[in-house]
Amino acid sequence: MNATPVTSALYVNVNSFLWSAAPGQDFLTATLTVTNPSGGHAENLSDFDNVSSGLADDVDFVMSAADAATAGDSSACGVRQVYPPSLCPISLGQGLTVDSDSANHDNRPATQLAPGSRTQITLSYGPVAATLQPATVTVYFDDGQSMPVDLTP
């Protein structure tokens, strides 16, 4: 699993609904690629695309604590003990919205990824102040059982 670098956008298209940011604001976006290795069994994608909530439950947008303080977005720093004090998951509370999932064409109640298949899941967060630099934000996977993993190259 990996993620594209985080970018900013004036609008996002969430399940055919266009959301636009107010002047001086942007959305942060990234695309997550999840691959199910061949020879295994179908994997549930609910950690990445919870169709009940429309959120990616186990994925966070994260900044260094110093960058979060500079951006005025440090309220979630230190809230989750799985992240070291140097990292701040800025998407806590609101969560990351799943804009699209190439494996879930019909908004099914549960999405399965067949062995040998991959899906691309577009995520967004915001709106945030347009002054927030997307290059300071990375994408992390946190399953709550092990240390969070940086997915951004």
Least confident of 62-66, 88-92, 105-109: 105-109
pLDDT at 137 over 70: yes
Q: Would you say residue 35 lies in a domain?
A: yes
Whole-model pTM: value is 0.90
79 exposed, middle or buried (CB, 10 Å; 0-12, 13-18, 19+)? exposed
On the CB side of 111, CA atoms within 13 Å amount to: 28
Residues whose CB is less than 8 angstroms from the CB of residue 146 and which lie 6 or more positions away in sequence, other chains included: none
- Residues 55-77: pLDDT tens digits? 999 999 999 999 998 888 777 78
Structural domain boundaries, residue 85? 2-146
* pLDDT at residue 107, as a whole number: 61
- Residues 1-30: pLDDT tens digits? 899 999 999 999 987 789 999 999 999 999
* pLDDT at residue 74, as a whole number: 77
How many domains would you assign to the chain?
Answer: 1
Q: Would you say residue 71 lies in a domain?
A: yes
* pLDDT at residue 80, as a whole number: 82
Q: What is the mean pLDDT of the chain?
A: 89
Q: Would you say residue 98 lies in a domain?
A: yes
Q: Would you say residue 113 lies in a domain?
A: yes
pLDDT at 119 over 80: yes
Q: Would you say residue 151 lies in a domain?
A: no
110 band by pLDDT with thresholds 50, 70 and 90: low
* pLDDT at residue 82, as a whole number: 87
* pLDDT at residue 153, as a whole number: 78
Q: Would you say residue 112 lies in a domain?
A: yes
Q: Would you say residue 83 lies in a domain?
A: yes
Is residue 60 left, alpha or beta, with left meaning phi > 0 and alpha meaning psi from -120 to 50? beta
Question: At 98, which CATH number?
Answer: 2.60.40
Q: Would you say residue 49 lies in a domain?
A: yes
